[in-house]
Amino acid sequence: MLTTTDTVSLTGPLDSAVLRRAAAPLTVTVDDEARARIDRGRSLFHGLRHGDGGEERKIYGATTGFGALVGYAGRADEADQCDNTLAHLGAGQGPDLPHGIARAALLLRARSLAQGYSGVSAEVVERLTAMFATTFVPAVPRYGSVGASGDLIPLAYATQALRGRGHAYLDGRRIPAADALEAAGLRPLALDGRDALALVNGTSVTTAATALALDAVRGAHRALTVLTCLLADLLGCDPGFLDEDLLRAYGHPGAVVVGARMRRTLTGVTPSGTRPLQEPYSIRCAPQLLGAAEDALRYVDGVVAADLGGVSDNPLFFEDGTRENGTGTGKVVHGGNFFGQPAAFAADLLASVTAQLGNLAERQLDLLVDPARNGGLPPMLAVEPGAQHGLQGVQLATTAFVAEIRRAAVPAGMQSLPTNLHNQDVVPFGTQAALRSYDMAELLGLLCGSLALGLRQAAHVGARRPTAPGCGELLDSLVELIEPVEPDRPLDADVRAAADLLVRGDPT
């Protein structure tokens, strides 16, 4: 089995970089502080459930049915209650979630449970953490969650796989989950009703997908910022549209920040003096557009940070600070911390940002391949137009990417539908919003890669050498990565390679 020395603590903060790393094997630790919290929460749960007189107290999911059936008693046997929780949620459909999302979701689930408010057993958290040292990935169907009461159906599939039921991936191969656990050296989870409900009653899939999508869009935003600079330098544009006083007067902090980044990249640039007095909006208004995106992404940053650090579960158990005979006293609170509305709104905003960034990349490529606007470079940046076609196929593909992004950008977070006998009479559809934004971010990366390919080809067919050293370094990295398009050849792999360099790396 694959192993790694990369280590993550469930006590420390999580961020998108940690979630990305969860796609591969890593060591996840539970320190003494976290174990103590988990043990106190478990003790508190038992104390509140049985009470002073030994009479069992109603606690959702531990003694009751689920959802709309909360008014009915659950099963008396703990193992049966676990089955009762999970079996009925086996109703998901569609392709399996990307492996990175499935593992990131379980890392988030483990951290939420490790806060000690869910009343789970320490063994549950320890078994979850053991999984991350292997290549085990639960097979989780994409469709079925409404993002309320948590991501019930997808997390139920993940939990069942950890119990040895259903299917999982090991070393990238989809096999029965029991076989995957055995080959990975993992023991199946043994759960009671409280454990089972705590594993599924959270927004971990929604949060994971939103965080990973945000990370990808952030990378694309950085890439488009420097690619816009390279475009302006190759064409010989005057950098006056980035004037510090101009952007400060605009009044929006994102534009000020983005403008400063672009001025740094364009340090040393010399205008050609042959461009129009005012550039097209895809160049002249780029700091305002990218700045507005920066402001919006900062809002999404805050939502994701709150979700990564919060506890999404129901019910939760809180101590009142006293201990009697080793048993905590306090309260059990039934509420709605599993409701993924913040992430739904954030993912919808992220989709809007993605669509406009995609528009910008596509319009800049269109400008670059048009001899009427690109300073006299050949049409489609073809070395021998007609006998060769340059970027013509790539531009067609970018048009399709933008159309797909626009189609997917319809907000999901306000399209509530009642379900579950009107127990869930308003739902956020955060899961749909998050997974959709994740898909859109992938297309945005390809748009960035397409623009980068166009800029590299422009240098080959006659554009001037960049005059700003920062732009020259960026072009050199693209030249090193991608051969010129002469003669015609398939360019799909080149687009992906450029996207990997610029979006998943850091071109600055």
Answer yes or no: are the C-beta atoms of 302 and 350 closer than 8 Å.
Answer: no
* Alpha-carbon 86 to chain mean position: 26
Contact 177, 139 (CB under 8 A): yes
Which residues does residue 276 pair with via DSSP β-bridges, in sequence order? none
- Using a 10 angstrom Cβ sphere, with 0-12 exposed, 13-18 middle and 19 or more buried, the burial of residue 279 is buried
- Give the whole-angstrom CA distance, residue 61 versus residue 149: 12
Question: What's at 71, amino acid-wise?
Answer: G
The tokens for 430 are: 């955060």
d(C-alpha 500, C-alpha 494), whole Å: 10
The Cα 501–Cα 93 span in angstroms is 34
Residue 495 corresponds to which tokens in the numbers above? 């687009």
Alpha-carbon torsion angle 440, 443, 447, 449, nearest 10: 130
Q: How far apart are CA 454 and CA 447, in angstroms?
A: 11
Neighbouring-strand partners of residue 317:
332
Q: Would you call the peptide bond into 418 cis, given omega within 30 degrees of 0 as the criterion? A: no
Is 60 part of the annotated catalytic residue set? yes
496: left (phi over 0), alpha (psi -120 to 50) or beta: alpha
Q: CA-to-CA distance for 22 and 297, rounded, in angstroms?
A: 23
Q: Give per-residue burial for 133-151: e unless 16+ CB within 10 Å, then b.
A: bbbbbbbbbbebbbbbbbb
Asked whether 431 and 154 are in contact (CB, 8 A), the reply is yes
Beta bridge partners, 169, equal 137, 174
In the set 60, 157, 169, 438, the catalytic residue is 60
Whether the CB-CB separation of 230 and 455 falls below 8 Å is answered with yes
What is the layout of strands, in order, in the sheet containing 137-138?
137-138, 167-170, 173-176
Q: Which residues are catalytic?
A: 60
